Amino acid sequence: MSDLDLDAFFARELDDHERVVAATRANLAAPFRRLASLASDSLRKGGKLMFFGNGGSAADAQHLATEFVSRYRLDREPLPALALTTDTSALTAIGNDYGFEQLFARQLRALGRPGDVAIGISTSGQSPNVLRGLKAARELGIVPAALTGRGGGALVDLADPILIVPSDVTARIQEMHITLGQMLCAAVEQSLGLVPT
């Protein structure tokens, strides 16, 4: 039988989460505002949002794209967004033929247009395929945005805007990525006048 004090564990985890929420509140308002503005402008002009990442970040990409296409809280018109992590045929073909590092860059070159917004998600800021994807986005005139943590890693030089969650703990970073992504959806909906403010 484990000697783990589950009550203390429960409290520690939530305390840690609350510290990261407070640090996020203190540090990310300006880059969030910029991302929400760029995403709204892109959608207003007929552009789209493209989310991508690996592992848990791939699941986040899928989750967040769905919030835009389906709805967030209230019924409204669908918004064009997609996750570049869901087409298994494309992922396996690109991975097999060009290498795993090309997964997102190749799809962005096929599907992206100038004025779209590419949102790479990497908790470390070091994922090679996310880095290559955002490099391709820059070359194509697509806004190269990112959600990351751990100081931003190599994404600092590629992404603008970049939301760097002030934590080195993957779980805390992922928790804030979903929170920030859902806030982005709500802000865009309201900015576009699709739901009440």
Q: Per-residue pLDDT averaged across 143-159, rounded? A: 97
Structure tokens at 74: 């209230």
Q: Which fold does the domain 29-191 belong to in CATH?
A: Rossmann fold (3.40.50)
CA distance 152 to 165: 8
**Cα torsion for 21, 27, 31, 32, to the nearest 10°?**
30
Tell me the pLDDT band of 122, cut-offs 50, 70 and 90: very high
Question: Given this model, what pLDDT does residue 151 score?
Answer: 97
Each domain of the chain, given as residue ranges in start order, spans 29-191
Task: Read off the pLDDT of residues 29-62 as tens digits, 9 standing for 90 and up.
Answer: 999 999 999 999 999 999 999 999 999 999 999 9
Closest among 177, 81, 70 to 121, alpha carbons compared = 177
Closest among 131, 110, 128 to 120, alpha carbons compared = 131
| 94 close to 103: Cβ distance less than 8 angstroms | yes
pTM: 0.96
- Residue 107: pLDDT above 80? yes
